Structure 1
Amino acid sequence: MEEKEPIYLLKRGKKGLLQLIFSRIGIALVFLLLQVLLLVALFEYVSNNYVHVFYGGAIVVTVFGYMFLLNSRSDSSVKLTWMVLFTVLPIIGIFLYFYMQLEIGHRLEKRRLVRLNEESSQLIETEPQLMEKIQEEKDLLGVATFVGATGPYPVYENTNLTYYPTGEDKFLDLMEELRRAESFIFMEYFIVGEGKMWGSILDILIEKAKEGVEIRFLYDGFNEFSLLPHSYPKKLEALGIKCKIFAPIRPFVSTVYNFRDHRKICVIDGKVAFTGGINLADEYINEIERFGYWKDTAIKIKGRAVDSFTLMFLQMWALDDGVLDVENWLNRPQEVIQEAGHVIPYGDIPLDGDRVGEFVYLDILNKATEYVHIMTPYLILDGEMESAIYMAAKRGVDVTIILPHIPDKAYAFALAKSHYRTLIEAGVHIYEFTPGFVHAKVFVSDNSKATVGTVNLDYRSFYHHFECGIYMEKVAVIPTIEEDFQKTLAQSQRITLEDVKNESVLMKIMGWTLKVFAPLM
């Protein structure tokens, strides 16, 4: 008997060069290029025909730009990058900076987010008796106060947590939880790729849709470049799965393309939620090999805290039309859970300037007394984060960072290495995971605090991506997270100052050069 072939993403084949050129993406890129060329031509015309006015205006605009920049709220490293651009490209740099400040293309998005946050502010809240209880827990209260002021992110107790040290572990449990779904499944992911992982999940989603389960699937528009066709949402709709694309590629110049949905969220029946670094593609479960062994992590949440992830998803789902549909999805009955500790699920929205993901990391670093153990794929630090890591190590905290030994991006590897000397000299222990690539985003500290989520240690996560995570204090899963860190550390090689000195000249030059422009990458 012939074995049934899985659906595997409604197979579409590899996109050739001609197919890409004449596709919707190709046409959009052509229109974007034409708009850029038109701006360049206008710039050339003005500079050639009105030379005195042009250069006089350039001086005035550059001085004004410096004054505006120095008085902005930007991080010092971000300011330095723009100052270099202002100096080297006085007109183009100024134009680019103010173009970004004008928020062309995402002003409507920003207004909708503000309104959606306001509408959501009282839908879920920290229970009054719990808020009274944590008044004496100053560390938790500080995080709760800051994070709670940026959106509907309450504190929860009695939360059951399961930590997954690999993508394979998460995948198997996710499949089981999806099969148990009775009411709804909400999924929001940054990367979706053809293969066993997504194909197997898709088979389950199709069956569940036939059973009457509400399925909603949201993915980032950059998948249109190489992974999914523009028509993919319609194909899923035909199978009973509601689907939306976040920030699809359109043929107009806009700053909206700089903001991506980097979240990984799955919510099932309002009772179970998953988040972490794991996307829906086969490298995440080591079904295929790209950069050696792929080390990633995730976490499963059960209990009332799942409401926060449900609401995060529904806010993003409503971003295109502004209609927040929560009536049937929040405050659903929960099983009785008795667990120690507290958690705060949080989201990070790049349009509000609050940098919640970075704040959570900074708070852990600044309050640590014994250790902070970190797993991250990238080390592209702004001034605040570098100073926090530096000072934690200087005051005697064991700060240990595990990074990939086999990178996915050469430029990111070079930028990470540009920080090695400063951090190692301060006492930071830096290791590289020798079997392959670390994609985990994990902080664990002092046997009492941890966070697992989607936030990388880089500018894109801190400033430009929609992110999420869960902050944990004194919960039962923290020793498991630390145990996984130690197991990963045992497979990693320590980087010494001698290693830094022996690094290739090309890698050093690349790191030094790119570091100047890191905030724009």
Structure 2
Amino acid sequence: MHLLDKSRRGFLRGIFSRSTVIAILLIIQILFLSASFVWLEQYRFWLELLERALAIVVVLYLVNSEMDALSRVTWLILVMIFPLLGSLFLFYTKFDWGYRELKQRINHLINNSSPYLQDDETILADLKDITSTTYHLVQYFNRSSGNFPVYQKTEVTYFPIGEDFFAELKQQLLKAEKYIFMEFFIIAEGMMWGEILSILEKKVEEGVEVRVLYDGMIEFSTLSFDYTERLAKIGIKAKAFSPISPFISTYYNYRDHRKIVVIDGEVAFTGGINLADEYINQIDRFGHWKDTGLMLEGEAVDSFLIMFLQMWSITEKEMVVSPYLGNHEHLPESDGYVIPYGDSPMDTDKVGENVYIDILNHAKEYVYIMTPYLILDSEMEHAIRFAAERGVDVKIIMPGIPDKQIPYALAKTYYGALMKSGVKIYEYTPGFVHAKVFVSDSAKAVVGTINLDYRSLYHHFECAAYLYKVKAIADIYKDYLQTLSQCQEITKETLEARPPLQKVVGMVTRAIAPLL
């Protein structure tokens, strides 16, 4: 009887949960829109005239737009098949409905952050004498909407696996004296988050300020809708970025994919690792989970602090920065340069993609890449192929066991053209690669959250650290070679031998890749 009552209570909670209510209201809105189109059938003649007029307008708009070539083709296909619906959908996505206020707020916060993100002229002068390519990349960062400075006195530690990242993160959290700020795309209840939460609760009792920011989408998957209130009860300030509501909006297309931890303004973490047990191989979802991360100590922590505060302050009256800046009294000596940076879908700067392309365009010997997804726009595909055609050794490590079958099938449609240009593609046979890593010429590297797909490059809030001539690059290179030893190279024969259904799915989804 007790088990029956428990089951009934669980069923009722599911029926009356926030997720269920939102799903029902969304379905009602979709049914209403569908009914509207049925009702409009009586005006078919006028609708056909409207469709043709809209199609002409859309074609003219797309031809003159700044979209990449594949996005324009995708929209043209959609409008060709569904003239009225496709045209209205395009206008809906381009008119900023649902996120105009968010866009204005973020731009305001970025502008207010500029006094805290200024380059040291001495560092710039030294960098200009050493290298023209990285110096000019810094110039680009200064002109981009985020304004990300270059730092020198920063120690960088690279973590080749989630377990190492987790162990060091716990040690640093225990050392916190003033504050702990955490921002993650995914937080899931389990061993990893449980141990971290225990530390955070202890730190709150010691008087440390703790803030936790996570993406609102996970309220549908890994956390309850009232999780921020649950954390508040133990003294943790928490927010869900862009929580899902019952109203259809393009707002929900833009997710907070960043992974940032800032402790006392002195230590920062970033990388591909979320706070869920699969990231430390505590549970097995897609074989062995390969991920990477960075720890920064020193001046460069300031940029990650600002990035966190910008996202946190979206729903605040003002952004308070000064009390949280690190003192940097005992700065580590470093012979290299570090540039933490972010990317936002609220502007026209494709910062994440441009940094990757810059590395590819200036590589002389090699560019080694790890990425879980490979859904490329025309600019990125051209940069990768051109680097290989110039004689640069370009290698890409992809998952051997995918987490999503459709993106996996889609990725394989790019393999042939890349391989034809000389790019070597490998799959990690033990499992899933979630790392986002570029390393080039033993001098440059990027580790962060930015995947090689449309969602990361166009639709998500992202972050990463660009490294130039820091010691940790040798560790990244070593890890890449170690990972490569566990991979199988893709050949023309193995590519052609993939299942027919996978080929068909890849070909079909390629046409709508920018919308995935």
- What TM-score, normalized by structure 1, do the two folds share? 0.95
Equivalent runs, 1:276-355 vs 2, <5 Å: 276-355=271-350
State the Cα distance separating 1:31 from its structure 2 match: 1.3
Q: Specify the alignment match of 2:3 in structure 1.
A: none
CA distance in 1, matches of 2:59, 2:12: 45
Q: In the alignment, is residue 106 of structure 1 matched against residue 60 of structure 2?
A: no
1:269-303 CA-to-partner distances (Å, cap 9, x unmatched) read 00000000000000000001000000000000010
Local SS of the residue matching 2:167: helix
Query: Structure 2 residue aligned with 1:204, among 196, 199, 204?
Result: 199
Three-state SS of the structure 2 residue aligned to 1:419 is: helix
**Equivalent residue number for residue 6 of structure 1:** none
Structure 1 segment 18-97 matched on structure 2, within 5 A: 19-46=13-40, 48-97=41-90
The aligned counterpart of 1:494 is 489
Residue type matched to 1:68 in 2?
Answer: Y
CA distance in 1, matches of 2:468, 2:430: 31
1:265 maps to what in 2? 260
- Secondary structure class of the residue paired with 2:165: helix
Shift of 1:336: 2.3
Is residue 413 from structure 1 mapped to residue 408 from structure 2 by the alignment?
A: yes
One-letter amino acid of the structure 1 residue matched with residue 188 of structure 2? G
Q: In structure 2, give the amino acid aligned to 1:214.
A: E
How many residues align? The count is: 508
Mapped partners of 1:440, 1:517: distance in 2: 25
Match of 1:140 in 2: 134
| Structure 2 residue 454 is matched with structure 1 residue 453 | no
Q: 1:511 to 1:442 in 2, by over 3 A?
A: same
What is the rounded CA distance, in whole Å, between the counterparts of 2:462 and 2:329 in structure 1?
26
Aligned-pair distance for 1:502?
1.2
Q: Distance in 1 between matches of 2:121 and 2:14?
A: 56
- Secondary structure of the structure 1 residue equivalent to 2:115: coil
* Structure 1 letter corresponding to 2:46: V
Separation (CA, whole Å) in 1 of partners of 2:342 and 2:405: 29
1:332 positional shift:
2.7
Q: Provide the residue aligned with 1:7 in structure 2.
A: none
Residue 16 of structure 1, CA deviation: 6.5
Letter in 2 for 1:438: V
- In structure 1, distance between residues paired with 2:240 and 2:179: 19
Cα separation, 1, equivalents of 2:62 and 2:318: 36
Give matches, 1:394-473, under 5 Å. 394-473=389-468
Query: Match of 1:344, SS?
Result: strand
SS of 1:142's equivalent in the other structure is: helix
CA contact (8 A) 1:152 1:308 kept: no
TM-score, length basis structure 2: 0.96
The whole-number CA distance in structure 2 between the counterparts of 1:17 and 1:436 is 35
Comparing 509-518 and 31-40, the one that deviates more: 31-40
Distance in 1, Cα, partners of 2:13 & 2:453: 34
Question: What per-residue deviation string (whole Å, max 9, x for no partner) do you get for residues 393-424 of structure 1?
Answer: 11110000000010000001101111111111
Contact 2:299–2:331 (8 Å) recurs in 1 = no
Matched, 1:507 2:507: no
The question of whether the paired residues in 2 share the 8 Å contact of 1:304 and 1:334 is answered with: no
Q: Is the Cα–Cα contact under 8 Å of residues 334 and 470 in structure 2 kept in the other structure?
A: yes
Match of 2:122 in 1: 129
1:28-51, Cα deviation, whole Å (9 max, x unpaired): 1211221222222222222x2222
Letter in 2 for 1:44: V
Q: How far apart are the structure 2 equivalents of 1:207 and 1:76?
A: 53
Local SS of the residue matching 2:116: coil
Is contact 1:375-1:440 (8 Å) kept? Answer: yes
Instruction: Report deviation, 1:430.
Output: 0.3
Summarize deviations over 1:336-363 as a string: whole Å, max 9, x none.
2111111110000011021111111111
1:231 shift after superposition: 0.8
Paired AA for residue 79 in structure 2: F
Please tell me the residue identity of whatever aligns with 1:135.
Answer: K
Name 1:479's counterpart in structure 2.
474
8 Å CA contact retained: 2:74, 2:512: yes
Provide the secondary structure at the position in 1 that maps to 2:246: coil
Cα distance in 2 for partners of 1:103, 1:31 equals 22
TM superposition shift of 1:154: 0.5
Q: Distance in 2 between matches of 1:407 and 1:100?
A: 30
**Contact 1:267–1:309 (8 Å) recurs in 2:** yes
CA positional deviation for 1:143: 1.3
Following the alignment from structure 1 to structure 2, what is the Cα–Cα distance between the partners of residues 217 and 390?
A: 41
Residue-by-residue CA offset, 1:482-505 (whole Å, 9 max, x unaligned): 000000000000000111111111
For each residue in 1:177-226, what CA deviation from the matched residue of structure 2 results, as whole angstroms up to 9, or x when unmatched? 00000000000000111111000000000000000001000000111112
Post-superposition shift, 1:18? 5.8
Structure 2: any 5+ residue segments left out of the alignment? 1-5
Aligned-partner SS, 1:105: coil
| Letter matched to residue 369 of structure 1 | K
* % identity of equivalent residues: 49
- SS of structure 2 residue aligned to 1:287: coil
- Note if contact 2:264-2:326 (Cα within 8 Å) is conserved in structure 1: no
**More deviation in 74-83 or 28-37?**
28-37
Structure 2 contact 154–331 (Cα < 8 Å) conserved:
no
Mapped partners of 1:345, 1:158: distance in 2: 13
Q: Deviations over 1:80-124 (max 9, x none)?
A: 110100101101111111100012111100000111111011122
Counterpart contact for 1:104–1:255, Cα < 8 Å? yes
Shift of 1:309: 0.3
| Deviation of 1:176 (Å) | 0.2
Is residue 229 of structure 1 aligned with residue 213 of structure 2? no
The runs of 5 or more residues in structure 1 that have no matched partner are 1-11
1:107 maps to amino acid: R
Whether the 8 Å CA contact 1:112–1:322 is kept in 2: the answer is no
| SS of alignment partner, residue 324 of structure 2 | coil
Aligned to 2:364: 369
Output the CA distance in 2 between the equivalents of 1:322 and 1:316: 13
- Pairing 1:242–2:237 present: yes
